[in-house]
């Protein structure tokens, strides 16, 4: 299920980090500032086209808006890797570490 409130929160945070106002974004996208406000609060569901346009304006990936994961970050897989390792024995973790070293040295 898509959480439009979380998407809106990510949009708002990204917009603010770029020092853009809702008015700035609305002018670029040719929509009303009220529409941007409703997107940011999750009151309005944005379609795929608007999601892509918004991500272009904010210079972030649509995947980040949907998932909150920045796949361009060097450590974006860290939480997933940590979750996988959590239930491993120390013997398995050591073996995984050795495999990683081999791959890095390739």
Q: For 57-105, how does the pLDDT look when each residue is reduced to its tens digit (9 = 90+)? A: 999 999 889 988 776 666 667 777 888 899 999 999 999 999 999 999 8
Element (H, E) at 44: none
In the CATH hierarchy, which top-level class contains the domain 4-67?
mainly alpha
Q: For 11-64, how does the pLDDT look when each residue is reduced to its tens digit (9 = 90+)? A: 999 999 999 999 999 999 999 999 999 999 999 999 999 999 999 999 999 988
Which residue ranges make up each domain of the chain?
4-67, 74-106
Residue with tokens 């013997």: 91
CB 8 within 8 A of CB 51: no
**What does the block give as tokens for 16?**
């603010």
Residue with tokens 């979380």: 6
The residues, ordered by sequence, that sit 6+ positions from 3 with a Cβ below 8 Å of its Cβ are: 42
**What does the block give as tokens for 13?**
């945070």
pTM: 0.68
d(C-alpha 41, C-alpha 72), whole Å: 26
């Amino acid at each position: 299920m898509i959480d439009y409130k979380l998407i809106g929160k990510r949009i708002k945070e990204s917009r603010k980090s770029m020092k853009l106002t809702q008015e700035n974004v609305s002018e670029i996208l040719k929509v009303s500032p009220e529409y941007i406000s409703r997107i940011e609060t999750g009151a309005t569901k944005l379609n795929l086209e608007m999601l892509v346009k918004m991500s272009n304006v904010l210079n972030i990936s649509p995947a980040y808006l949907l998932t909150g994961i920045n796949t361009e970050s060097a450590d974006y897989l860290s939480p997933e890797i940590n979750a996988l390792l959590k239930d491993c024995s120390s013997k398995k973790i050591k073996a995984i570490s050795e495999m990683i070293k081999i791959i890095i040295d390739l």
